[in-house]
Structure 1
């Protein structure tokens, strides 16, 4: 949670001092953006420690206009790295019926150069994957549905659970773990969804 003072005042983007914190990762001030400065220092230290494997950085943001959950990722010259970076959001799309891969975007817009995802994508090596996970303030649409479903605290929690399940799938896919999915994760999707959502998910 990098914007506690701003959120306390009811802001969802700007800090107490009026800074959009996700535009100041390149050179954060220890006085004006202390949370960014501290986290950036920590990540730089971790990236330089040979005993640490820093594989994922995921910023989590609310989105004020678009529906569903979706991701922003980076663009690189190395085509293989680009393809590898698309694996995680594709897996997440398979696990979470409210996550939209079609709304997921990979870019290197100049205006986004100061975001954590862009800055750290350039700082860390090609074994690290940096994303922004955006989730609608309002609602989501499932495949084949005609009406949006309002997000609730439970459905936000479910998306978080599905991100965790996707990490498990990712590491299984890369033969880094071989254990089966724990039963409480296997059953979470089926037991926690309202009846209407379950029927929509079965049709997807």
Structure 2
């Protein structure tokens, strides 16, 4: 548990999976209406808690996952689309969290700052759903030239595992409008911080449109975990 000061929901859950020194943070549902993010998270969790041989060799022994399945449970309980109980778009307030106005976000940010001081954090993934774009893609941060190849390595690996993931739509930017998002703010702590976006609707395959289903979202979550395993197999010392 990270926070027990929400008004409607008792706490924000924190799951710890694995025993490795290196850490990975995975979060979802900061925007309560983006329900596909929970199906992705479900597929991800099902896989990293399974008995898959690849997972056992390259993930659990090397990595500890810190997973926050629902960042905005009050907003979800109220049926809000984008905001919290207090009316804030939490994914615009990571830079200036307030313990009164955004108690959950404030607690999560404090936890992550403390985590970074104690352990190497290799990745941070913030999972969202997109109401306009199709397919799945990532947003990343603009980094120094010597860090670019390392930062861009994971999306390339992910694209090999997920047919619905688009490298061409993946974008690395420093848009001022997004300065308060998790990806931008946490990028100062964890250089490989990404927003994973997935369409509410469909993706393109062989020039045809394929509607997303609950299973397709779950498969994307599993493929995210498989891509992480492949990353550590390919780059064990990074």
For Structure 1 versus Structure 2, the TM-score category normalised by the shorter chain is 0.7 to 0.9
Q: Distance in 2 between matches of 1:82 and 1:18?
A: 37
Deviating 4+ runs (over 3 angstroms) = none
Bigger radius of gyration, 1 or 2?
1
Give 3-state SS (helix, strand or coil) of 1:67's partner: coil
Q: Distance in 2 between matches of 1:169 and 1:98?
A: 18
Judging by fraction of residues, say which structure has more strand.
2
What is the root-mean-square deviation in Å for CA atoms of aligned residues?
1.2
TM-score normalised by L of structure 2 = 0.68
Name the structure 1 match of 2:117: 48
Alignment of 1:185-200 (within 5 A): none
Report whether the alignment pairs 1:85 with 2:151. Answer: yes
Report whether the alignment pairs 1:145 with 2:211. Answer: no
Alignment of 1:23-102 (within 5 A): 23-49=92-118, 52-76=119-143, 78-102=144-168
Judging by fraction of residues, say which structure has more helix.
1
Q: Distance in 2 between matches of 1:175 and 1:47?
A: 20
Q: Which has the higher contact order (CA 8 A, sep 6+)?
A: 2
TM-score normalised by L of structure 1 = 0.79
> How many pairs are equivalent?
168
Give 3-state SS (helix, strand or coil) of 1:141's partner: strand
Structure 1, gaps ≥5 residues long: 177-204
Q: Distance in 2 between matches of 1:175 and 1:27?
A: 35
Structure 2, gaps ≥5 residues long: 1-69
